[in-house]
Every structure is written in C-alpha cells, then in structure tokens.
Structure 1
Amino acid sequence: MDVARRNHVTVTGNPEGPAVVLAHGFGCDQNMWRLTVPALARDYRVVLFDYVGSGRSEPTAFSEERYASLEGYARDAVEVCEALDLRDAVFVGHSVSSMTGVLAADMAPERIGALVMVAPSPRYIDDDGYRGGFSAEDIDELLTSLESNYLGWSAAMAPVIMGNAERPELGAELKNSFCATDPDMARVFARTTFLSDSRDDLKSVRVPTLVLECTQDAIAPREVGAYVHHAIAGSTLVTLDATGHCPHLSAPEATNEAILAFLKGLFPSGPSLGGPR
C-alpha cells in the first residue's frame, strides 16, 4: 500500500528547507500539531503523518502483531521518511513518539539527524531507582478500564492527561480525539505504550537531542525528564513554563520557541544549508 495514503502523510512549509517530522502520541493525530506548524512553515519542510490505527490513516493496514511493539510504530515513521527520501530529518515526537523516534533513528540513521522529545517517557511504571509515575497496579487498572469502557475511560482520563483544568476545552479536544480512535486499535496502542520500557534504547542515541518537559505533568513527572536527559549524552533539557502532558496545545508559544531555538542551533548559518551539524 502507498505509504502516503496508509499514514495520511501531509507535507507543508518551505519545500527547500530542512525536513521536520512531527509525530503524534497515543490517542491523537497530526491535527494536534496545528499550533506548531505555522511557526515552522516559513523555514522548514514540515512533514506530518498518522500512525496506522490513528487519525485518517488507512485502517485496513492495521496489524495487531506489528503494532504490539513500539518497533511497529517506528517502522511507520521510517517508511514515511523513506517514501519522501528524507535525509537528516529532525524528528519531533510527542509522548510515546519520543521513544518511537529513538527507535527510528537507530533503524535508519541516515534518515533522522536530530530528535526533539516533547514530554517523553521511556517507561511509565516505577522500578527500582526509577520513577515513571505509575505503579504496576495503576497501569493494570488503567488498561482494564480502557478495555472495558473505552469511551468512559476517554472522558475520565483526557482532562487528567491534558491538565489545565481552568481550560476545559483542551481536555474536551483530547477526549474527542480519543473517542475518534477505533477502540480495538486504541487498546493495542495503549498496551504498547504503557507497558513499554525503552530505557536501554536511550543509550543508542547519537544525534543532537532536545528534551522538553513541563513543570507539572501527570503522565511524565519531572524525574522522567531528568532521567532521559542524563541517559542521552549531550542532550539539552528545557523545562517549559507549562502544565499537563500536551504543551504543544496548552502552551504552544513556549513549546515553539524552544523547538525553534534548537533548530537554530542545528542550522546556525540558516536553515537552507542542509542537515544538522
């Protein structure tokens, strides 16, 4: 199947600029980047896509076997890059897509030259010497609730994930995004996400990396941001003046400013000069 159709690939921005690939998190789609795209479009070629099972991707391409691991989602990302013949692209991943980006960069190092991790978490379950934010029992309960009543779970969890209780429209948008996802496909993505452990994969990162965390995040507490930063040699950690797990929606100005500053560091003589240094 044609990758552009399979993953509903959208390309916008400056066709002569370096490529920036925006990858959404669990329960979301490429529309979640709509407040970031305008900030990038003047200087960068912006690539958006939906993972199979999300957004306007082709549902007949879904395979529970493929998407039962993060490698399956990383293959989607790599195949999008291959279809567009991207070289040294900057991969911006939200939440679990941060780890997808790590795997994709390892699978196809010629395609991905830098990483931006927005509210990343390599493991959601606490472990000895590691705080992921959830106990194993918490995640068990979360997945059981999701699988037994997906719409009810979406209504209850979306405001918690989004935070910013004073702006209920943000939680409502996330809930609507969850509810637009096929429950059976969401169940697979949820298990893949919340049971994943990508801590060892962080050691393989050899490209410039920006880690963006929020001051308060119910899904990825600040201990997680610190862990990711220390695990990736040479990475940059920025704490955004933002709350919740989706700063590209709740605090787009701060998020965009941090991403643009990172890109400027990659392309110090201007974005038309090729890949990251």
Structure 2
Amino acid sequence: MSVLQRNNVRVLGKPSDPVLLFAHGFGCNQSMWDSVASAFIGNTYQILFDYVGSGQSDLRCYQFERYANLQGYAQDVIEICDALGLERDVIFVGHSVSCSIGALAAVARPNLFREMIFLGASPCFLNDPPHYSGGFDKDDLEGLLALMNQNYVGWAEYLAPVVAGPDNNPEIAGELSNSFCSTDPVIAQHFARATFFADNRDDFAKVTVPSLILQHQDDVLASVAVGEFLHKQLKHSQLKILDVAGHAAHMSHPGLVITAIQDYLKERDIL
C-alpha cells in the first residue's frame, strides 16, 4: 500500500505554487482544516491527510510500536512529503499535538520546510515546577486516560466542549465529539498517551525553520504562557495571540486564523 493511501492524502492546486501541508490534532481528521484551507485555494498547493489511526486512514497500517511516541507520526509527515516528491519549501501548518510532530519532522529534515505555523501548540502538557507550567499534573492526565478506558463516549463528550471553547457553536463540539468517537478506542488511548505524556521542549529549541506561533487567549490545553515559552525556545519565531476561547480557532474562528497566516506569509514574501 502506498503512503498516500495509508494516510488518505488529498492534494489541491499546482505543485509549482507555495506548498501548505495541514496537520490535524489528536482525535481529529483533515476535514477540521477545511474552512481555513478553502481560503488558500487558487494560489497554493495544499496537502491534507489523516494520521494512521485517524479519519479515513488505513487502520491496518497502525503499528503500536511505531506510534508509541510522536516520532512515528513525524516520520509519517516526512514520508508523505517524499511520496509527493517534495524536497524543500514546505509550509507546515499544524494544530495542537501536530505542532510537536512538525517540530520533530523539522529537526529530522530541516531543509524540507520553509516555514512552520503552529496553532495551539504545547510541547509538554505536564507541569514541571517551578520552571514550566504545562497545565496538568500527572494524576490529571492519568485520570483522563482512565476515563477513556472506562467510558469512551463519556470522555469524548467531556473533552469536545473543552476543545471547542465555552462560547462556541455547539455544532463544533458535536463535530469534535463525533470525530473522537469515530476513532478506534484502543488506538485513541494509545495516541492519547503519546500526546499527553510527550515532552518535546528541547526539540522545539532545535528547530531552525522560521515559525509563527498562534496561541489562543483562553485555552486550558495550551495557555498563553506556553506560547511565550515556545517563542523563547524557537530561534526565529513570531508569537500572535488570537482573541479566542478554546483550543480550535481553525474551526471556531477560521477568519482569524486565515488572516494571521496570510499576513505572515505576505510578510515573508511567500504570497
């Protein structure tokens, strides 16, 4: 089976145009980017995909050893680019855990990427006092995983509104909940552990690719303080705070994300 089939890769536009690769967050799929991606049709070459185990990817390709940590997903990103014949100038646009995955890919293959755009990034969800506040103690995260194991639907119904944000359209929370529930529970728990117990703080410090950090103003999963930490870690970065509550501005406030990306790419003489 080809990599493009494995990851349900969808491409739009001409390869000669600037390349945007959209990477979704945990429990999500490529369709979460549709509202943002549609704004770039006509002047970019867009790549959307599903991580193995998510969306419409081929579940037969899921390997528990490979995806026990985020390096396996970073390898997927690189393999997708290789399968499409991309050798440089890829603009990576990642949400949530995909920011860490993208950082790992950029460290492994820095010449592949031209820009990194991170939305709702958190290099480590665990608190590490007194130097770092990721937002959660270990017991909090173990409790979340225990809930997944005991009541998967209940877990999805709890987490979806948190990601969507308190003031957002219930349809967004419903879309997120449906996406969570459509994922195989065993695979979801495996991906959750790889996501929530990862510590990629040092990896972000190794990224040399210019980066835009988009952080939500009120986000229990990735605070402004985390964005400020990343801004210090990333050598060539800009930090922009979006006036959004929740963890998924690309779904709840796509216009803000579109404008931020467009402004950044114009400033970088890409669009």
Q: Normalising to structure 1: TM-score of the pair?
A: 0.94
The answer (yes or no) to whether the contact 1:116–1:211 under 8 Å persists in 2 is yes
Distance 1:258 1:166 in 2: 20
User: Once the two structures are superposed, what CA deviation does each residue of 1:208-246 show, in whole Å capped at 9, x if it has no partner?
Assistant: 100000110111111111111111112000001211100
* 2:206 paired residue among 204, 207, 224: 204
The answer (yes or no) to whether the contact 1:20–1:92 under 8 Å persists in 2 is yes
The answer (yes or no) to whether the contact 2:110–2:208 under 8 Å persists in 1 is no
The answer (yes or no) to whether the contact 2:168–2:252 under 8 Å persists in 1 is no
Deviation at 1:166? Answer: 4.8
Deviation at 1:198? Answer: 0.2
The answer (yes or no) to whether the contact 2:92–2:117 under 8 Å persists in 1 is yes
Deviation at 1:15? Answer: 3.7
Matched, 1:103 2:104: yes
In the alignment, which residue of structure 2 is the partner of 1:275? none
The answer (yes or no) to whether the contact 2:134–2:226 under 8 Å persists in 1 is yes
In the alignment, which residue of structure 2 is the partner of 1:80? 80
In the alignment, which residue of structure 2 is the partner of 1:89? 90
User: Once the two structures are superposed, what CA deviation does each residue of 1:163-204 show, in whole Å capped at 9, x if it has no partner?
Assistant: 134521111111011011111110111000000000010111
Alignment of 1:13-162 (within 5 A): 13-86=13-86, 87-128=88-129, 129-162=131-164
SS at structure 2 position matched to 1:248: helix
Matched, 1:226 2:195: no
SS at structure 2 position matched to 1:132: coil
Distance 1:82 1:221 in 2: 34
Q: Normalising to structure 2: TM-score of the pair?
A: 0.96
The answer (yes or no) to whether the contact 1:88–1:112 under 8 Å persists in 2 is yes
Q: Which runs of 4+ in 1 moved over 2 A?
A: 13-16
2:195 is matched by which residue type in structure 1?
T
Q: What do you get for the CA RMSD once the two structures are aligned?
A: 1.1
The answer (yes or no) to whether the contact 1:91–1:112 under 8 Å persists in 2 is yes
* 1:183 paired residue among 182, 185, 197: 185
The count of corresponding residues between Structure 1 and Structure 2 is 269
Distance 1:199 1:211 in 2: 14
Distance 1:252 1:164 in 2: 17
Distance 1:14 1:242 in 2: 33
Q: Summarize the Cα distance change of 1:97–1:166 in structure 2 as closer, same or farther, 3 Å threshold.
A: closer
Deviation at 1:24? Answer: 0.2
2:94 is matched by which residue type in structure 1?
G
* Structure 2, gaps ≥5 residues long: none
Distance 1:241 1:13 in 2: 31
In the alignment, which residue of structure 2 is the partner of 1:8? 8
Deviation at 1:110? Answer: 2.4
User: Once the two structures are superposed, what CA deviation does each residue of 1:11-43 show, in whole Å capped at 9, x if it has no partner?
Assistant: 013443111100000000000001011111221
User: Once the two structures are superposed, what CA deviation does each residue of 1:89-115 show, in whole Å capped at 9, x if it has no partner?
Assistant: 000110000010011111122222210
Distance 1:166 1:197 in 2: 30
Matched, 1:163 2:157: no
SS at structure 1 position matched to 2:105: helix
Distance 1:66 1:220 in 2: 26
Distance 1:118 1:13 in 2: 23
Deviation at 1:262? Answer: 1.4
Distance 1:260 1:139 in 2: 35
- 12-21 or 92-101, which moves further after superposition? 12-21
2:145 is matched by which residue type in structure 1?
L
1:158 is matched by which residue type in structure 2?
A
SS at structure 1 position matched to 2:118: strand
2:116 is matched by which residue type in structure 1?
L
SS at structure 2 position matched to 1:122: coil
Distance 1:127 1:173 in 2: 33
User: Once the two structures are superposed, what CA deviation does each residue of 1:61-93 show, in whole Å capped at 9, x if it has no partner?
Assistant: 000100011000001100001111112200011
